[in-house]
Amino acid sequence: MSKGIKIAGMTEIMGRRMKESWQTSPRVTYSMSVEISAAEAFIRTFNGAHEQENLKINYNHLLMKACALASKKYELFNSSVEGDEIILHHEINIGLAVATEKGLMVPNVKSVDQLTFKELCQETRRIIQGAREMKLNYDDICGGTFTITNLGMYGIEGFTPIINQPEVAILGVNQICTRLMMEGETILTKRFMPLNLVADHRIIDGAMAAEYLNQVKGSLEAPEMMEA
């Protein structure tokens, strides 16, 4: 026998926002892969140095910082549309999609471009824990200017996330993959993280999206340059 489940609470709110986004933003998806050997080494070094403090960074922290720095350079990625105006935000607040028992939540870390990785690690841990325990405050949920959603740990090889209104772009992160590469006459095995940037084409064109992704790629492939 069929069973009906009433759409309510967070599911209702998320559904309404996703419908609004789908009807509002003309979306284009741009894909690029990042070679992660330097990122892996940076994570190992950082976590080893902060083991006594129980601080561990992961790819999400590097992605958040890389996107924040790219948004600082390409300010339209840190904007929203209100009526016939583009609002450029002075803070770069990166939202991170978090799966909870009651549905998806997107808390955000404020002024990510100004944080050290230690500070970013501490604040990200706080908002993720708060989301899962339903203990976030209003400020944790509101004010985001760019969102990252990472499905790589679920084995997802490619997806097109829906923009989190009123933002104008979102980054989807896919499963890390291994590829054989030729360098001269030598065959090497390298690991790559595929990224999908979805952008509102009213505001962001293809050339700008490509420049933004290349900036993110450059930061992830030289993560030591991102430390504030």
Residues marked as catalytic: 201, 205
Cα–Cα distances (Å) from 170 to 88, 212, 220, in that order, read 16, 12, 17
Cβ atoms < 10 Å from Cβ of 26? 9
- Residue 75 DSSP label: G
Dig out the tokens for 102 from the structure.
């009651």
Residue 146 exposure: Cα atoms within 13 Å on the Cβ side = 34
Residue 111 exposure: Cα atoms within 13 Å on the Cβ side = 6
Distance CA 146, CA 204 (A): 13
Closest CA relative to residue 49, chosen from 118, 114, 119, 113: 118
Distance CA 84, CA 29 (A): 24
Contact 70, 216 (CB under 8 A): yes
Question: What value does the CA radius of gyration of the chain take, rounded to a whole number of Å?
Answer: 18
Closest CA relative to residue 27, chosen from 212, 170, 158: 170
**What is residue 176's three-state secondary structure?**
coil
